[in-house]
Amino acid sequence: MDEPPPSQPDASEQSPDAPPIDRPIVIAANRLPVMRTDDHGWTPSPGGLVRALYPMLRESGGTWVGWTGDPDDAADPFTVDGVDLHPVAVTADEIELYYEGFSNDALWPLYHDALRESTYSIEQWDAYRAVNERFAITLANIAPENSVVWIHDYQLQLVPGVLREQRPDLTIGFFLHIPFPPVELFTRLPWRTEIIRGLLGCDLVGFQRPTGAANFVAAAHQLLDAEHADDSVFYDGREVQAGVFPISIDVAEVEAMAAGRATRRQVSQIRARLGDPEVVMLGVDRLDYTKGIGLRLKAFAKLLEDGRLDPAHNVMVQVATPTREAVEAYQDERAEIERLVGEINGRFSSIGLPVVHYLYQTLPYDDLVALYRAGDVMLVTPFRDGMNLVAKEYAAAHIDGDGVLVLSEFAGAADELTDAVLVNPHDDRALQDAIVEAVEMHRHERRERMAGLRDQIRKSDVQGWAHRFLAALDAAGTRS
């Protein structure tokens, strides 16, 4: 009897390092995926996106284009750990205008539901356009013929359109890591049409949530009278797809780190230093006004004041990672958070045992994983977030199957992590009730919910996310 032919491995059995397409891949992002070391060399940056894309680029012989992070740095192309890196120079003035200005003082608040008034400056817009054109020219010069170019995030929204004009042979994709706003908000932007036209240079535009994709399609139709059908926009004789690709984390890496002996020892030490409380509540955020840290602290203070939580048994740890420290709105946010922490500790702490432990610093990833494991209740309460990977990291770290996640329904993660305690952070009473529900939740329900969260995050890790996007981009480029 003849032997049956060997079965072919499916995508899930392929090496996670192997790219899902057989064409050269070029990545473009505001920053290169490396940071300087003490000996003036380079090492890959921490972060899920770098961990997902770096091995894939190494495998495919691809290139990453971006800024080194230093002003006026006209560095030559270089290679780190087998990946070719092509710097794009950004001047000190452009950092102030393009990055701190237009990207983070105009687009960021607007795309997050206008939580702060945006600044619309023609000087900032000119710098944004100039840097985007520089990125596009660099990509046009280095991308191999018929290759795939994957552009990332809101700082580079004009790049696809400029690149398309210069290199029509390329397959161009874009992924927006933050929300895309409703049309009625987006149209406040004086250069709204230019942004949409830039994104329509793509074959595929990816979003974290279905609402983002729908908002983009609606904006293209309203502003450029582009025809559309389902998730496709037809513009300038081309089809542009709007897809939904919720980003994830390296689940296996977090679980392995959480299971390590050093982490277990560190968890015990953390809880001892906190005074061995019954419940450790935890917040881990960049110090950004979109994250809702202030409302979270106010809700905690109100629960202590009303006696619904006992400061002798419940403590909060809030990690606030410094970010955009030169931007005035972030300076104001830091001052307000630190005022609230001082006020709460002044009222409710006992000698040697503060009720809020506040860290304004960037912690190593292994320290964060230990904190996740030490936290009984994780508070992820942004006003608006593209995804929020902290929520997923918390679930991945809880290999013990316990712990409760309180999650804003306005975070992209809420679409997937439905076993969290979902809450509207704008409703102060609802937020207080959600915290109490999490603190008082019966062990059986806690474990049942955590099992649901962990099952969900295992369905899709960050490597799978990258593979799905690139496979969809390859298919979209073929159709175009």
Are 129 and 154 contacting, i.e. CB atoms less than 8 angstroms apart? Answer: no
Find the catalytic residue in 84, 126, 177, 367.
Answer: 177
Q: How far is CA 123 from CA 102, 154, 258, in A?
A: 9, 18, 47
Are 53 and 17 contacting, i.e. CB atoms less than 8 angstroms apart? Answer: no
Mean pLDDT score, 112-127: 94
Q: How confident is the model at residue 274 (pLDDT cuts 50, 70, 90)?
A: very high
Question: What is the DSSP secondary-structure string of 129-160?
Answer: HHHHHHHHHHHHHHSPTT-EEEEESGGGTTHH
User: Can 444 be counted among the known catalytic residues?
Assistant: no
Residue 448 is encoded by which pair of tokens?
């049942």
pLDDT in tens, 161-189: 999 999 999 999 999 999 999 999 999 99
Q: How confident is the model at residue 16 (pLDDT cuts 50, 70, 90)?
A: low
pLDDT in tens, 439-472: 999 999 999 999 999 999 999 899 999 999 999 9
pLDDT in tens, 223-263: 999 999 989 999 999 999 999 999 999 999 999 999 999 99
**Angle formed at CA 163 by CA 93 and CA 217, multiple of 5 degrees:** 100
Find the catalytic residue in 105, 288, 376, 385.
Answer: 385
* Whole-number Å distance between alpha carbons of 246 and 11: 18
Residue 5 is predicted with a pLDDT of 36
- What are the structural domains of the chain? 13-248+463-479 (3.40.50.2000), 251-459 (3.40.50.2000)
User: Can 357 be counted among the known catalytic residues?
Assistant: no
**Would you say residue 18 has pLDDT above 80?**
no
Residue 10 is predicted with a pLDDT of 42
- Per DSSP, helices labelled H in 98-209 are 108-111, 122-142, 159-166, 183-186, 192-199
Ranges assigned E (strand) in 353-402: 356-359, 377-380
Q: How confident is the model at residue 367 (pLDDT cuts 50, 70, 90)?
A: very high
Mean pLDDT score, 33-55: 84
**Would you say residue 4 has pLDDT above 70?**
no
pLDDT in tens, 377-411: 999 999 999 999 999 999 999 999 999 999 999 99
Residue 15 is predicted with a pLDDT of 54
Residue 480 is predicted with a pLDDT of 61
